[in-house]
Amino acid sequence: MTDYGFWSLIPPLLAIGLAIKTKQVVFSLSLGIFVGYLIIQGGNVFEGFLSTITAFVDVFQSKGNTRTIILTLIIGAMIQLIKYSGGINGFINWVQRRLSGQKNFKGKIQATSALTGFLIFVESNISILTVGTIFRPLFDKHKIPREKLAYLADSSSAPSCVLFPLNAWGAYVMGLLLAFPSLDPFKTLVYSIPFNFYAILTLIFVFWLAFSGKEFGEMKKFAERKQTLPEEKLAIDEKTSSPMNMVIPIAVMVLTMPIFLIYGGWDSTLEGGFSDRVWHSISNGSGSEAVLNACFTGFIVASVMYFFQKMLTIKTFIDESFKGMNDMVVMAVLMVLAFAIGNLCNELGTGIYVSRVTSSWLIPEVAPALIFIISSFIAFATGTSWGTFAIMISIGVPLSFAVDANIYLVIAAVLGGGVFGDHCSPISDTTLIASVASGCDHIDHVRTQLPYALFTGGLSIVFYLIAGFIF
């Protein structure tokens, strides 16, 4: 593999800088990808152009990427069917009835949205899409900025996903830990959870901000501006039905995900008891496959429910499904670009270069804090927490053995740092999805979320420094 050194940082930093400057995310990502392949092709513009086109096609060579993009379209179709059935309006009305007249009404609406994102811990994209779509009308009606909704959706999803092992995130991390025979993947992941300071602190901060109504930084400006706008009315031209028309399909999707994960990795020839086989199947199952299967199951359950309620015909089922998918096309394009620049950074060795330059600083006591910082920067520059996990677990685990650092602290620092950097990065797929699902400008979402993420990220560094000397 060619060592591109410092040049490996140019494409992602260019894409991030341009996105912030121009607010044109598609253009910024595309140009960053082109510049990257221009570097790889030694400055040959024609070859760089051809390689860029090939990079977009190569995104679909990964089954995981393809499943995620299809998942986005299916989620769009399912949400549209739920909306058409009146389930979303039913849920909104139920929330309003439950909270109406109570003190701190706005705070409880925000807390309910954060709680919804927290409970849908099967996959971050599903969580963000659901929260953004469902709660946007309520936030608009009660003059709560959409940027706040994007923050609550984004910052309640990945932290909850990374704290629960029975989902796609857990399966992925355990799969990475299988490379180290001396470690029990499930035990290592579970024991690292109490040390995942960023995820824990972020969730605490999210719910505090929601309940208290406190704002600072750019978010405060958007909140003040929103108060000057006239109150918006909820849409009344759509059907209203039981909130169960929304709750049941989403609950089915959440609950069947671990089942599909276990089924996909099940090995009947494996020796040991039932529980041993279950944990083995979880670590060996495909997270992206399980999530897609669960999503299809929820979609089918929703469709069957609405057919039996005589809300759907075959024609309306097809029309509404494609309408929902069409709403997700922009998001799917952004995901292709995000995956492409992630693949580019992998080819350039961006993460490996950063970790190589900084790994020489590590000593046992400060290793967790430095690993957290390194993981954060890699995730920020590459826009992917999962890619960061792959890079830093392969480096951090051997390093922790070599310098005798606490392995659970190191694993938690990698996971927390990956999520932190991902939250701060304008080229992250989850950050993109949060802004689109919530209906706010993407760069405005980044600008308003960044101070909050930096606050909990800074606290996490302090906690890792303290824990490094204690454990």
pLDDT digits (tens, 9 = 90+) for 354-370: 767 766 666 778 889 98
pTM: 0.80
Say yes or no: 162 and 57 in one domain: no
Say yes or no: 45 and 75 in one domain: no
Domain termination residue (choose one: 45, 61, 77): 61
Say yes or no: 37 and 52 in one domain: yes
Say yes or no: 270 and 355 in one domain: yes
Say yes or no: 374 and 433 in one domain: yes
pLDDT at 236: 44
Domain termination residue (choose one: 61, 85, 100): 61
DSSP run (H or E) holding 128: helix 124-141
Domain that holds residue 146: 63-470
Tokens 């750019």 map to which residue? 218
pLDDT at 237: 47
**What span, in angstroms and rounded, lies between the C-alpha atoms of 262 and 7?**
42
Say yes or no: 179 and 109 in one domain: yes
pLDDT at 194: 94
Say yes or no: 10 and 123 in one domain: no
Say yes or no: 48 and 70 in one domain: no
Nearest residue to 245 via CA among 296, 294, 297, 301? 301
**What span, in angstroms and rounded, lies between the C-alpha atoms of 250 and 91?**
12
Say yes or no: 53 and 198 in one domain: no
Quote the number of domains for the chain: 2
pLDDT at 205: 96
Say yes or no: 86 and 125 in one domain: yes
pLDDT at 253: 86
- Cβ partners under 8 Å of residue 148, min gap 6: 110, 139, 215, 219, 222, 223, 448
Domain termination residue (choose one: 17, 43, 61): 61
- Cβ partners under 8 Å of residue 344, min gap 6: 11, 32, 33, 36, 37, 55
The one-digit pLDDT tens for each residue of the chain (471 residues) are 577 888 888 888 888 788 778 777 788 888 989 999 999 998 899 999 999 999 999 888 888 778 878 887 888 898 889 888 888 888 888 887 877 767 778 888 899 899 888 988 877 878 888 888 888 888 888 888 999 999 999 999 999 989 987 777 877 787 778 777 788 787 888 899 999 999 999 999 999 999 887 888 888 888 888 777 665 555 444 567 788 988 899 889 888 888 888 888 787 777 767 776 777 777 677 777 888 888 899 999 999 999 999 888 899 999 999 998 988 787 788 778 877 887 887 788 876 777 677 666 667 788 899 889 988 988 888 787 887 887 778 777 877 777 778 899 999 999 999 999 999 888 888 888 899 889 898 889 999 999 999 999 999 999 999 998 887
Q: Counting beta carbons within 10 angstroms of the beta carbon of residue 358, is it exposed (0 to 12), middle (13 to 18) or buried (19 or more)?
A: middle
Residue 19 · residue 427 · CB < 8 Å: yes
Say yes or no: 159 and 36 in one domain: no
Say yes or no: 52 and 88 in one domain: no
DSSP run (H or E) holding 49: helix 45-58
